[in-house]
């Protein structure tokens, strides 16, 4: 077979492969943006009041034990389909998981509870007061980019939206007090020692609302609001916010651990921070959100910039935001920006030090480059995306897995 013919066939083969691979990637991407956005928009949930609420029993205790091993407690015997408290791991009572009865039963059979949590580098940090922020997490030595700082199971986890009677609300804390009642003393102490930044709430409900982090309790990140989960972690919940965070929170579904990894080198003495808000929003919007949901005024480096530099920073963040919208499949703003425009945006990400978006742009942008037939840059960007996701989220990351699979099936991709 002549060389030119072989080249044509190879190109055709590439073309067909590009079509399928781009299709598979597009499918994955639809799940992934919601998850990465979710991980920055952390806390809060709203009770769903029941319409007809019978009177509570005279002793006021509406709970009923459904099973001793594993321990499952119905939160409210008055309403059908009331949430249940499951205490895990079996027999040790170190964590409470709250959900409908079917999900609670399913979770009680998971093997993960018998497995150890991944080993981390928590010795690299110290928890101490940080001026103007309460407690915080500070590096005791240089923490290298990609280091797994903490991997920890929650002590409290729940589906975000649960049906509850209106007499079990955040003001009286009845529901939350009942949920933590059967936890070990250590876990209860860990929860009650966390910060409460909410006024008008029962102290326990306030603590939960202040400290919740999002959990992904499904194999694939699920954008459905009814399938979102939140949890409380004794150590991770101590991290303070920064609009240019130096660490990334990821919920590792396979080990059921919340994890922080350094997104860049963190020098000794620096605070380890995550983001509580949408960091691509303008400074005023970020600050308003942090004030209303977390009761503090952010004074991070990005928020302290003078007017001229703040405007430039807002402008870069807005451009990154717009580009991410444009390259996200399923987005109403979806279009095909040029390679040059996407490269320019990566420079802005560098300037703003928003490392999580570098990974996303390389991944989503790489997929677009493939659709446009630019195989060389596609491969280059996917290889970089793989490194970036590994650094940010480790091997369990759905994005890391998706990129790795793509590279495995692509000729020359695994080199």
Ligand X SMILES: C[S@@+](CC[C@H](N)C(=O)[O-])C[C@H]1O[C@@H](n2cnc3c(N)ncnc32)[C@H](O)[C@@H]1O
Asked if 261 and 147 count as a contact pair (C-beta separation under 8 A), the reply is: yes
- Does the protein bind ligand X through residue 287 (CB under 6 A)? no
- Does the protein bind ligand X through residue 238 (CB under 6 A)? yes
Contacts of 143 (CB under 8 A, 6+ apart): 121, 124, 125, 149, 262, 265, 266, 272
One-character DSSP codes across 166-220: TTS-TTT-HHHHHHHTTS-HHHHHHHHTS----SSS-HHHHHHHHH-EEE--SSS
Q: Which is nearer to ligand X, 238 or 261 (CB)?
A: 238
Q: Which stretch binds ligand X (CB under 6 A): 245-253, 281-289, 291-299, 372-380?
A: 291-299
Q: Which two tokens stand for residue 118?
A: 């991944």
Q: Which two tokens stand for residue 331?
A: 């987005």
Distance of CA 186 to the CA centre of its chain: 25
Q: Which is nearer to ligand X, 160 or 343 (CB)?
A: 160
Using DSSP bridges, classify how beta strands 72-74 and 229-232 pair: parallel, antiparallel or unpaired: unpaired
Please count the residues of this chain forming the interface with ligand X, following the rule CB under 6 A: 19
Q: Which stretch binds ligand X (CB under 6 A): 111-119, 217-225, 289-297, 380-388?
A: 289-297
Phi-psi region for residue 110, left (φ > 0), alpha (ψ -120 to 50) or beta?
beta
User: Binder to ligand X among 38, 160, 181, 195 (CB under 6 A)?
Assistant: 195
Q: Which is nearer to ligand X, 199 or 332 (CB)?
A: 199
The residue whose two tokens read 């919340």 is 258
Residue 240 CB, shortest distance to ligand X, in Å, is 3
Residue 398 CB, shortest distance to ligand X, in Å, is 25
Q: Which is nearer to ligand X, 237 or 244 (CB)?
A: 237
- Does the protein bind ligand X through residue 246 (CB under 6 A)? no
Residue 198 CB, shortest distance to ligand X, in Å, is 8
Residue 314 CB, shortest distance to ligand X, in Å, is 18
* Strand partners of residue 67: 72
- Does the protein bind ligand X through residue 135 (CB under 6 A)? yes
- Does the protein bind ligand X through residue 294 (CB under 6 A)? yes
Residue 298 CB, shortest distance to ligand X, in Å, is 5
- Does the protein bind ligand X through residue 240 (CB under 6 A)? yes
Residue 44 CB, shortest distance to ligand X, in Å, is 12
User: Binder to ligand X among 79, 83, 95, 136 (CB under 6 A)?
Assistant: 136
Distance of CA 152 to the CA centre of its chain: 14
- Does the protein bind ligand X through residue 44 (CB under 6 A)? no
Cβ-closest position to ligand X: 134
Contacts of 150 (CB under 8 A, 6+ apart): 120, 121, 122, 125, 235, 236, 258, 259, 260
Asked if 136 and 128 count as a contact pair (C-beta separation under 8 A), the reply is: yes
- Does the protein bind ligand X through residue 184 (CB under 6 A)? no
Contacts of 184 (CB under 8 A, 6+ apart): 92, 93, 94
Q: Which residues bind ligand X (CB under 6 A)?
A: 132-136, 194-195, 197, 210-211, 237-238, 240-241, 294-296, 298, 300
């Amino acid at each position: 077979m002549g060389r030119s013919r072989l080249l044509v066939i190879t190109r055709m083969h590439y073309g067909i492969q590009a079509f399928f691979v781009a299709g598979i990637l597009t499918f994955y991407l639809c799940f992934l943006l919601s998850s990465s956005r979710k991980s920055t928009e952390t806390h809060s949930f709203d009770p769903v009041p029941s319409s007809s609420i019978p009177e509570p029993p005279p002793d006021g205790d509406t709970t009923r034990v459904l099973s001793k091993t594993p321990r499952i407690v119905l939160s409210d015997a008055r309403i059908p389909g009331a949430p249940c408290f499951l205490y895990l791991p079996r027999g040790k009572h170190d964590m409470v998981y709250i959900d409908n009865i079917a999900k609670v039963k399913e979770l009680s059979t998971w093997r993960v509870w018998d497995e150890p949590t991944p080993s981390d580098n928590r010795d690299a940090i110290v928890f101490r007061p940080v001026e103007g922020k309460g407690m915080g997490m500070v590096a005791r030595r240089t923490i290298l980019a990609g280091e797994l700082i903490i991997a920890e199971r929650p002590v409290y986890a729940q589906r975000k939206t649960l049906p509850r009677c209106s007499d079990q609300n955040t003001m009286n804390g009845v529901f939350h007090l009942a949920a933590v009642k059967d936890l070990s003393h250590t876990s209860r102490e860990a929860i009650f020692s966390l910060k409460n930044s909410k006024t008008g709430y029962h102290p326990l409900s306030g603590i939960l609302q202040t400290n919740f982090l999002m959990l992904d309790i499904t194999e694939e990140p699920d954008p459905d609001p009814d399938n979102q989960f939140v949890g409380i972690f004794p150590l991770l919940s101590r991290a303070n916010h920064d609009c240019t965070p130096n660490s990334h929170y990821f919920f590792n579904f396979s080990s059921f651990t919340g994890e922080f990894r350094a997104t860049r080198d963190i020098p000794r003495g620096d605070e380890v921070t995550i983001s509580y808000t949408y960091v691509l929003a303008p400074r005023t919007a970020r600050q308003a959100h942090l004030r209303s949901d977390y009761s503090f005024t952010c004074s991070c480096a990005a928020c302290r910039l003078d007017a001229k530099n703040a405007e430039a920073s807002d402008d870069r963040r807005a451009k990154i935001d717009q580009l991410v919208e444009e390259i996200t499949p399923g987005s109403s703003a979806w279009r095909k920006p040029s390679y040059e425009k996407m490269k320019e945006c990566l420079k802005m990400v560098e300037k703003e030090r928003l490392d999580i978006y570098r990974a996303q742009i390389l991944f989503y942008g790489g997929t677009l480059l493939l659709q446009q037939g630019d195989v060389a840059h596609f491969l280059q960007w996917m290889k970089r995306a793989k490194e970036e996701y590994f650094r940010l989220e480790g091997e369990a990351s759905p994005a890391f897995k998706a990129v790795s699979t793509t590279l495995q099936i692509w000729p020359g991709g695994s080199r």
